[in-house]
Amino acid sequence: MPFPGELRAKAGDPGTFTLQVEENHPAFEGHFPNEPILSGLIQVDWAIRLGRAVFSCPGAFQGLEHLKFQAPIRPEEPLELDLAWDGAAGQLSFRYSGREGRKSQGIAVFRPTP
């Protein structure tokens, strides 16, 4: 799934991004026709792909921990995505927030490859 057109790294903080998913973005197709929301799968995918690009996140993806979807993300909603890499634990933490607070959060776990 392509990233949204409005995606920018926050100056001075490589792990923080501002984004806004346009209404006609393919991420909203069929999810749901009269009340479009950004699927959790896409939120996780974008966080992991950006985390790998920024922090390298070595190793193979092992799974997700403490995954919570607290509020829907709707088209054109201004968002902030915060990423943090803990190399010792092999964990990428992510959090999506909007004007009204936290939208989702979780931890992607990576295991070292031999």
- pTM given for the model: 0.92
**Is 44 contained in some domain?**
yes
Rounded average pLDDT over 43-65: 94
Full domain range(s) for residue 39: 6-111
Spatial separation of the C-alpha atoms in residues 104 and 75, rounded to whole Å: 16
**Is 64 contained in some domain?**
yes
pLDDT of 12 reads 83
* CATH at residue 18: 3.10.129.10
- The rounded mean pLDDT for the chain is 94
CA 27 → CA 3, 22, 36, 87, distances in Å? 9, 9, 9, 30
> How many domains does the chain divide into?
1
Spatial separation of the C-alpha atoms in residues 57 and 42, rounded to whole Å: 19
Q: How many CB atoms are closer than 10 A to CB 10?
A: 13
Spatial separation of the C-alpha atoms in residues 19 and 2, rounded to whole Å: 13
31 vs 23, higher pLDDT: 23
Spatial separation of the C-alpha atoms in residues 31 and 66, rounded to whole Å: 24
Q: Is the pLDDT reported for residue 50 higher than 90? A: yes
**Is 1 contained in some domain?**
no
Q: In this structure, are residues 10 and 79 in contact, taking their beta carbons and an 8 Å threshold?
A: no
**Is 10 contained in some domain?**
yes
Spatial separation of the C-alpha atoms in residues 72 and 86, rounded to whole Å: 27
pLDDT of 5 reads 85
